[in-house]
Amino acid sequence: MSFEIRQKDLLGRIGKLSTKRGNVETPLLLPVVNPNHQLIPAQTLRNDFGFEGVITNSYLVWRRFRNEDQVQDIHDLIKFDGVVETDSGAYQILQYGDVEVQPSEIIKFQERLGSDIAVILDIPTGDLVSRERAKWTVDETLRRADDAQKIITRRDILWVGPVQGGAYPELVTHSAREMAKRDFAIYALGSPTPVMQQYRFDVLVNMIMAAKMNLRPDKPVHLFGAGHPMMFALAVALGCDIFDSASYALFARNGRYMTSQGTMKLEDMEYFPCSCSICHGKTPEHVRRMLLSDRERFLASHNLNSCSAELQTIKQAIVDGRLWELVESRSRNHPALQRAFQTVLQYAKELETETPIRKKKGPFVISSESLSRPEVQRYVNRLAERYSPPKTKTVLLVPEDALKPFSDDPTQDSWVRDAEKKHDFHICLYNLAFGIVPFELVDVYPLSQTEHALTPTTTAVRYSKKQMVDYLKRTNYSNCVFAASESWQVKIGKSLQTALKSKMKVKRIKVNKSFAEVTKLLERQRVKQRIT
């Protein structure tokens, strides 16, 4: 087995997973195929919908063929020539409490089936259980993982080590750390299904991060039971590589139409917001008049297309370095996703560590939440850790608009240098996105490449002021000239006078939005001489 990471953004990655049946690309969705009944034939999932792999339940196959000496290869049994993952019956334990098969027996049975990816029989934690019960599921799953590694004989199968602990992050952390010590090809987060069904995506974020931060980064992570396109971007951004779900068929059975914005009921729809090959040329009324079986097949087919399209969108966002923008926009689609996104902001440091330093395109800062994105956080941290200002007594803080766009005027750089030399000033810009920007850094990525649409909300102004105060407190300036053109800038200037009064003299000047106006004002008022 090999897992090659080709592209990264946030904790999300595009990878190539090698199996004995061939390579598959991650992020990867494995549609659930019922071995006894297929609403959409398994091979159709590959030929018509482009799914490279599926997942089926080896426990259900075992119940059907357990007394037979010979068992068909799982690929022949479900008639699928791509990659097949087999689950072990843990879902039935979660639903019904127990299964009659032994952990060692189902491992040997999966080896007989010739699975490409196989899961040991773990004990799901589930939801709304006591901490004592949750800890037992973690300990028992780890014990079974140890037993499994003594029993496994087929090393060409990619074996999955599940992480348990449920909604107890400290138990998930412990489970992940211990499971990472076991040599499994893939790790999986178990028991998220009840949390996702209740739209508790904020809890899911903590579960994923507790696992992800303690698993090996060179191995893929499978999020069991995740199959709705509205939450794929969130899960991928947090480092999940593989998904599986029967939602496409279950939702179809209940007359539900899946989109990346959420779920719609067919009975309430007048138009299809999708132009996939399934929906093109059809209306909801037309579909409502179909026979029940045809209607289910139509909805299931659309749901698969919706899932596939969202994964393609996510992959392109990773390539472009725009996964943050996608997650932030998807978080606007449902209050539960917005709560989850607010939880994601608590992991800004972890996301920054894993995000590439340079990207093809500059970031968009579109809200106060965007201030937690890796590019912004990295700049703030590195300005504090790695930047040394020139040995000048006076700093001139100029609004961003006075020197923007930075690259459009080739004479501007020498203009600023001359002004700095003439007045013995160090010139810095300030804005709502990055706080303070020394002029010599304006062309460094991502400063001049960033587009922001921030308005002077209380949060944005407070953030900008904090960055300026922190920067000025670290320096040896004796004087600060603060140029302001708008009311929120004047407000920041007054705050700087209060916050820095024991360190330096701060003088506010009112200017128009042009650097020429700033320099003329400096000439006329002889600011330097007056404040020194």
Q: Which single residue is written with the structure tokens 């003594």?
A: 150
Q: How many CB atoms lie within 10 A of CB 526?
A: 10
CA 115/CA 75 separation, integer angstroms: 8
Look at phi and psi of residue 22 and say left if phi exceeds 0, alpha if psi is from -120 to 50, else beta. left
CA angle, 509 as apex, 504 and 512 as ends, to 5°? 145
Ramachandran angles phi, psi of 303, nearest 5°: -60, -40
CA 285/CA 279 separation, integer angstroms: 12
Q: Element (H or E) spanning 352, and its range? A: helix 348-354
87 catalytically annotated: yes
The catalytic position among 9, 73, 81, 87 is 87
Q: How far, CA to CA in Å, does 163 sit from each of 56, 124, 166, 340, 370?
A: 20, 9, 9, 21, 31
Q: How far is CA 369 from the centre of its chain?
A: 14
Residue type for 492, please?
Answer: I
CA 206/CA 172 separation, integer angstroms: 9
Exposure of 70 by Cβ count < 10 A (0-12 exposed, 13-18 middle, 19+ buried)?
Answer: exposed
Question: Looking at the DSSP assignment, which residues form a beta bridge with residue 387?
Answer: none
Ramachandran angles phi, psi of 52, nearest 5°: -80, -15
Q: Which residues of 171-193 are buried (b: 16+ CB within 10 A; e: fewer)?
A: bbbbbbebbbeeebbbbbbbbbb
Exposure of 154 by Cβ count < 10 A (0-12 exposed, 13-18 middle, 19+ buried)?
Answer: middle
- DSSP labels for 242-273? EEEESHHHHHHHTTEEEETTEEEEGGG-SS-S
* Residues with catalytic function: 87
